[in-house]
């Protein structure tokens, strides 16, 4: 049995294949140059295809899919275009899932249908200059103010900053990890601003930047969960979010491997040599990454805690995608030295997977601590 196709409902699989072939693959070269459609356009196209709310139940306008469907979707998009994959992954997982898990009925009805239609794009704002790996060190403050809160602070390295309509913002309402709360902040509100997108080494089609909150009034109705549970919201979002990053990494590795295989076939046709041992290793590592990702996704679907398995999948898959992309550059040389050769693009895109949603140093710490509990 091939490991390439997971087994989501047939109609969803067909929708994903059609979306990737007709929308994502044609724009991938422009996205890699930072000249493709905006993140909002990507979300809107996914919404038209019925894929911007994969995890959202049918009654709230979503596709009612599983985390295995979600992982299949993110991998399929990343195989063609990693920039589009990170936009959609953040929208679906850390941007939308906290509302599914912690939102009130009113919040779900207010936001989930528009997110699932792709009319709204979601972002997730945890990282600050002073607190990335050490999320509990965050300094953005949420002070009580009448029937709401005033949020002030600066988030950085936020995916879709400047494009997103709604951010899940993690801010401090007190001291320690019990003094952290989560809020749903609309980009149109007074005091919300973003800087110009950063110039990254890869993922040029995905905007990444600062989110500034200057005394933003957030009604109590937009607090996500109780006051003080924000750290739990963030950690829960990251647990299943890491399954998404793992799926992205599998897609990038598979995309690089696709190019190596087609280039190697051409080379053999011209009586050239191919490093078969390395090729076999790249396939084995990519398949292993996919199975780890699928296993973690299945655990999330069964409602089990997935902290260990999500970190194992994220660590292994993202280290693999960087290694596969690097070998792909070697095996497709000298043409791969071109800045926009398909494996050069993937080599640059792969690296960020080892960094976001917890660096791989932090994943190793999480794994070791889970084992030593
Ligand atoms: C392209 C991109 C998109 C991103 N999108 C988002 C987003 O949408 N939302 C969001 O909130 N964040 C986002 N991030 C931020 C990302 O999650 C953080 O960069 C990451 O968690 C690391 O935090 P930091 O940058 O503060 O690095 P630091 O925590 O300062 O770490 C710097 C280095 O020190 C290492 N280190 C830190 N602590 C330890 C330790 N205890 N032991 C060993 N090594 C350690 C780290 O592994 C890393 O190598 C994004 C980042 C990138 C690159």
Question: For the domain bounded by 122-228, which CATH number is listed?
Answer: 2.40.110.10
Average pLDDT over residues 155-184: 97
Mean pLDDT, all residues of the chain: 95
What are the extents of the domains in the chain?
Answer: 10-116, 122-228, 231-372
What is the rounded CA–CA span in Å between residue 120 and residue 122?
7
| 235, two tokens | 């950690």
Nearest-CA residue for atom 6 of ligand 1: 158
Which among 39, 209, 355 is the best mutation to test ligand 1's pocket, defined by most ligand atoms within 8 Å of the CB? 355
Q: 72 with 6: CB under 8 angstroms?
A: yes
Average pLDDT over residues 56-85: 97
Fold agreement (10-116, 122-228): no
CATH code matching the domain that covers 231-372, chosen among 1.20.140.10, 3.30.460.80, 1.20.272.10, 3.30.70.141? 1.20.140.10
Pocket of ligand 1 (CB under 6 A): 90, 123-127, 132-133, 157-159, 200, 203, 208, 352, 355-359, 361-362, 365
Mapped onto helix, strand or coil, the DSSP state of residue 255 is helix
- 10-116: in CATH 1.20.59.20: no
Residue 327 backbone phi and psi in degrees, to 5: -65, -35
Q: Determine the distance separating the centroid of ligand 1 and the alpha carbon of 355, expressed in angstroms.
A: 6
C-alpha of 334 from chain center: 32
Question: Which pLDDT does position 10 carry in this prediction?
Answer: 57
Question: Which pLDDT does position 8 carry in this prediction?
Answer: 52
| 50, two tokens | 């019925």
pLDDT band at 331 (very low <50, low <70, confident <90, very high): very high
> Per residue in 335-353, pLDDT tens?
999 999 999 999 999 999 9
Question: Which pLDDT does position 71 carry in this prediction?
Answer: 98
Question: Which pLDDT does position 132 carry in this prediction?
Answer: 83
- DSSP alpha helices (H): ranges in the chain? 10-19, 25-32, 39-48, 67-80, 82-92, 97-102, 105-116, 230-269, 276-301, 307-331, 342-353, 360-372
Which among 356, 357, 364, 366 is the best mutation to test ligand 1's pocket, defined by most ligand atoms within 8 Å of the CB? 356
Q: How far apart are the first and last CA of the chain?
A: 37
> Per residue in 104-155, pLDDT tens?
999 999 999 999 999 999 999 999 998 788 888 999 999 999 999 999 999 9
Task: Tell me if residue 357 is catalytic.
Answer: yes
Question: Which pLDDT does position 84 carry in this prediction?
Answer: 98
């Amino acid at each position: 049995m091939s490991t390439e196709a997971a087994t989501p409902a047939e109609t969803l699989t067909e929708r994903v294949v059609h979306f990737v072939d007709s929308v994502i693959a044609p724009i991938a070269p422009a996205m890699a140059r930072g000249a493709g459609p905006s993140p909002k356009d990507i979300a809107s196209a996914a919404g038209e295809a019925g894929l911007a709310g994969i995890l959202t139940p049918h009654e709230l306008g979503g596709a009612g899919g599983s985390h295995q469907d979600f992982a299949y979707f993110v991998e399929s998009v990343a195989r063609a275009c990693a920039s589009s994959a990170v936009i959609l992954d953040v929208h679906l997982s850390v941007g939308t899932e906290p509302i599914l898990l912690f939102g009130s009925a009113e919040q779900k009805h207010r936001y989930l249908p528009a997110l699932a239609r792709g009319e709204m794009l979601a972002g997730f704002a945890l990282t600050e200059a002073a607190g990335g790996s050490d999320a509990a060190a965050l300094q953005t403050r949420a002070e009580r103010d009448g029937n709401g809160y005033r949020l002030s602070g600066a988030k950085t390295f936020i995916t879709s900053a400047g494009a997103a309509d709604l951010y899940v913002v993690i801010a401090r309402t007190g001291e320690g990890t019990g003094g952290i709360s989560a809020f749903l902040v609309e980009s149109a509100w007074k005091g919300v601003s973003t800087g110009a997108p950063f110039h990254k080494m890869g993922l040029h089609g995905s905007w990444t930047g600062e989110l500034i909150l200057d005394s933003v009034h957030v009604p109590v109705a937009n607090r996500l969960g109780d006051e003080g549970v924000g750290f739990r919201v963030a950690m829960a979002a990251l647990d299943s979010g890491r399954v998404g990053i793992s799926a992205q990494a599998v897609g990038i590795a598979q995309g690089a491997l696709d190019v190596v295989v087609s280039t190697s076939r051409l080379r053999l046709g011209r009586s050239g040599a191919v490093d078969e041992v390395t090729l076999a290793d790249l396939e084995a590592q990519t398949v292993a990454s996919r199975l780890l990702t699928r296993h973690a996704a299945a655990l999330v679907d069964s409602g089990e805690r997935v902290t260990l398995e999500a970190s194992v999948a994220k660590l292994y898959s993202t280290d693999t995608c960087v290694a596969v992309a690097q070998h792909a550059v070697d095996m497709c040389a000298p043409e791969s030295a071109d800045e926009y050769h398909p494996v050069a693009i993937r080599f640059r895109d792969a690296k960020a997977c080892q960094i976001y949603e917890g660096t791989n140093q932090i994943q190793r710490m999480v794994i070791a601590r889970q084992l030593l509990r």
